[in-house]
Homo-oligomer: A and B are copies of this chain.
Amino acid sequence: MVPIMEKPLELIIEALLFASSKPLSVQEIHRCLPDVPAPDIRAALTGLQTTYDAMERSFCLKEVAEGYQIRTRSAYAPYVLRMLRSSPSRLSRAALETLAIIAYKQPIIRQEIEQFRGVDAGGILRTLLEKDLIRIMGRKTIPGRPLIYGTTKKFLEVFDLKDLESLPKLKELKDFGSGDEAAVHLPEEDGQVERSKENETRSGPEEQGLPFPKDREGPTA
């Protein structure tokens, strides 16, 4: 159909639709295949639609407002929904940060957590408690007797950690090259390595003074 292409147009468009996170319009497909005129793309889309209908498979090609999308047929929705509901959920960035503070600084009270992040943590703590990632370890014997938070067994499971001790320590995080990215981080494009490796410290256990309420470096539980 089109000389430069090695694969049939219908299948190329199928691959594009398959791998796309959103519906693709004819123009968007045309942008990927500039040598193919829009009418040909439209014809191929109709062709795919007919093919899928004839194949009687679980998916079909839907034309929605923004373009074309491969979707599962509605008859399969109950199964798909069951699968999607049981698929792993994600944590927001704020929740992840709060979880990180608790993991590294436990036992910790809400006020200390909020000092780290500078914002209210109430809602996030509830979410993390609900997801069974943190637990209430007790109350601190200071005015107000605030709740003390720590991580759960489920937390270890989620992060595939044997124990709390396996959490990398601050110093180890530094060794991963966080601060010195220019010297250590590899260029993604070619296989060349920066030569300035000696900048990276592989030195002894020097303590670094960090502005923490507590002078602990890692989990002690």
Contacts and interface: CB of A to CB of B under 8 A. Distances in A.
Contacts of A79: 12, 15-16, 32-33
How many copies are assembled? Answer: 2
**For chain A, which range describes its interface: under 10, 10 to 19, 20 to 34, or 35 or more residues?**
35 or more
A172 B197 contact: no
A23 B31 CA distance: 30
A221 interface: no
Nearest to A206: B162
Contacts of A18: 58-59, 70, 72
B186 A162 contact: no
A200 B120 contact: yes
B176 A83 contact: no
Contacts of A46: none
A102 interface: no
Contacts of A93: 191
B186 A24 contact: no
A3 interface: no
B11 A90 contact: no
